Amino acid sequence: MMVLKEANGWSDEQLFENCRFNLLVRSALGLMNMDDAVPVESTYYLFRKRIVEYEKSEKINLFEKTFASVTKGQATDFEVSGKSIRMDSKLLGSNIAWLSRYELIHETLRLVCQDIKEILANHFLTTSQKQMIENLLKETGNKVVYRSTSAEVKTKMQELGLLAYTVIELYNSPSSKHYETLKRIFSEQFKMDDDGKTIISRNKEEISADSIQSPHDTDCHYRNKDGNQIKGYSMNVTESCDGESLNLISGVDVRVVSTADNDFLQNGVNGTKELFTETVKNIHTDGAYHSTDNQQFCKNENADLLINAIQGAKARFDLEKKEEGELTVTDTHNGEIIPATKLKNKDKWRIKVGITYKYFTAKAITASALKRKIAAIPQEVLNIRNNVEATIFQLGYHYPNDKTRYRGLIKHKMWANIRCMWVNFVRIANYLTKPFIKNHSCPHPALIMTLIMHVLASMMDLKFLFCQTNSMTSKNQLF
């Protein structure tokens, strides 16, 4: 059911409506008779809830394991090589409101006060504190910001900081699921003054991108990528790219949005090695995946990292180290070759430019050699990476505004793996039926049966996932 939901971009209401009244959907779920019951909403949500709880306790995402198991079987049956792979990432926002600093503190404190309202009523508080809590519970932070000047908001934020400190110190309440969130937000947004007695708000420069962005999703981070501001997650997709044969997604890695692209590469390659039939030899990425560690990793794996560029401005000087240890420096502006001198007892060279000296380290020489290597790669090889952007488009097809319906890292992992599983299903179907579509003929029943068997095998993997959660009775099974 979840696969069909994400495949079609349905809401939960649309999902259950189709499962109950759409004969095509019912037959896809194996419900051949009109009296075959669909799992009720409470069962469906309990299943999802227990998958989340299972990962929190066991640190294992069952959908990731299911996706890997399904894809490995598909890769074996269709002989997907995996000798060449490519990857790219996409930023997606979490389903949260864009809160200002004041709104963030106001909303979190409001939720805590709502949770421990009875406890607060039975403890001593000053009249002003009681009035502040009453006002907190009556209206949301955006309404306060709307009717207040910036100076008033700053004053109110200071008052909220004092109230938050009081609540944290006096009421260590396990009954409030938002209490720990409030403690963390307080430490991120406020600090003690030099006198150790006064609470003041931190400057915005002191607040990290991995600070809490919303009390409703404490996993997501903030990132500003080329003017695109996102509060959410980064999703890295790895897929095979072996010519005209069937190519499948081997994995999707979901992390907080502040994760750099080059942090994804090694996990993507290692995951691919476990699923496809051949060893990875060519890795096609853009320049964001380049790092010294990744270059060394690819060297150890005997794989070529084929990137189309390196991040940063184009260097003026081309550096080439000869076998005998001499360094040749070429000025790319005029083609002049400038003699370089190696410094004594240091792995560093220098040249004279006008009346000053310019120095080069071994790292700069390595980067220059890599740029020459990239320049020598044929354009048709570099173009192989480009089609991964179509896969990225399909991953977020139902979210054109780059904002999902979900909150939390685990639920985004579930969604991404389901979506990639569906993309692989569609690719297999197209691969099997493509020759017959060209000839305007019907596919052979054996091919249709092959596709059906793969879907059934996938459903069995999903059923195993379901059994892992122990969330259903035999009377009302999901599959």
The band of 297, judged by pLDDT with boundaries at 50, 70 and 90, is: very high
Q: What is the secondary structure of 207-248 as a DSSP string? A: S-TTS---TT-SS-EEEEETTEEEEEEEEEEEEE--TTS---
Residue entry with tokens 């404190």: 109
Q: What pLDDT digit, counting tens, does each position of 431-470 carry?
A: 888 765 665 555 555 555 455 555 555 555 555 555 655 5
445-471 b/e (C-beta count within 10 Å ≥ 16 → b):
eebeebbeebbeebbebbeebbebbeb
Residue 4 has pLDDT above 50, yes or no: yes
Beta strands 228-240 and 356-361, pairing class: unpaired
Q: Which domains does the chain have, with CATH numbers?
A: 62-95+230-308+383-443 (3.30.420.10), 101-206 (no CATH), 317-365 (no CATH)
Q: What pLDDT digit, counting tens, does each position of 237-282 carry?
A: 999 999 888 999 999 999 999 999 999 999 999 999 999 989 999 9
What gap in Å lies between CA 247 and CA 24, rounded to an integer? 28
Burial of 131 (0-12, 13-18, 19+ CB in 10 A): exposed
What gap in Å lies between CA 432 and CA 246, rounded to an integer? 9
